[in-house]
């Protein structure tokens, strides 16, 4: 271009980069639709990136596998009782305000024989409700692969939750999911994924 003015941008370059040029988008008659599409794509990308990455947790010697929304933190404690020593293993996975946990322990023979299954389940329910600061909303009997089990639903202090207690021989499992806005689909995924090995 003569007269010392700026040269016009190459037409082919504008054609190939037009959709990426902010001025082009704003001046285009379809820009509101394009902008809406870009905003929608952005939020879809953000929500996808923040999705739970469920993974299988199957500890050595635990006798089970289960799906958790994140890598769990683990603890291992032992308690001495008049009926014998009890070793408790706990794995806890958190996602936003929700907590998913699985506890498993080997009960002494005397606890199963003398205490009885009913006492074991009732005591575990009482301890869980005390820990959660919640009240029972339902308490039902079921079975897992032929083994006695109980399902507890509870709420309180702005939290709702569901727990499952399973007795397999002398091994006692407690699955628990709780949160202020606990997703029903996520909760069912957690419980349905539990498998005995």
Q: Is the pLDDT of residue 30 over 80?
A: no
Question: What are the structural domain ranges in the chain?
Answer: 11-49, 55-196
Q: Which CATH architecture has domain 55-196?
A: 3-Layer(aba) Sandwich (3.40)
- pLDDT at position 34 is 54
9 pLDDT band, cuts 50/70/90, is very low
Q: What is the pTM of this model?
A: 0.72
- pLDDT at position 2 is 47
3-state secondary structure the chain: CCCCCCCCCCHHHHHHHHHHCHHHHHHCCCHHHHHHHHHHHHHHHHHHHCCCCCEEECCCCCCEEEEECCCCEEEEEEEEECCEEEEEEEEEEEECCEEEEEEEEECCHHHHHHHHHHHHHHHHHHHHHHHHCCEEEEEEEEEECCEEEEEEEEEECCEEEEEEEEEECCEEEEEEEEECCCCHHHHHHHHHCCEEC
Q: Which comes out higher in pLDDT, residue 181 or 91?
A: 91
């Amino acid at each position: 271009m003569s007269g010392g003015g700026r040269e016009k941008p190459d037409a082919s370059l504008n054609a190939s980069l037009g959709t990426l040029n902010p001025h082009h988008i704003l001046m285009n008659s379809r820009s509101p639709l394009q902008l809406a599409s870009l905003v929608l794509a952005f939020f879809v990308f953000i929500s996808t990136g923040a999705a739970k990455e469920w993974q299988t947790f199957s500890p050595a010697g635990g006798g089970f596998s289960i799906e958790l929304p994140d890598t769990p933190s683990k603890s291992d404690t032992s308690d001495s009782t008049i009926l014998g020593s009890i070793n408790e293993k706990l794995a806890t996975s958190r996602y936003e305000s929700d907590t998913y946990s699985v506890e498993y322990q080997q009960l002494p023979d005397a606890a199963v024989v003398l205490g009885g299954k009913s006492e074991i389940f009732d005591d575990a329910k009482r301890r869980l409700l005390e820990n959660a600061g919640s009240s029972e909303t339902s308490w039902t009997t079921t079975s897992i692969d032929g083994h006695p089990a109980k399902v507890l639903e509870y709420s309180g202090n702005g939290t709702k939750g569901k727990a499952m207690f399973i007795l397999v021989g002398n091994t006692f499992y407690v699955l628990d999911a709780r949160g202020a806005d606990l997703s029903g689909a996520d909760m069912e995924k957690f419980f349905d994924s539990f498998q005995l090995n």
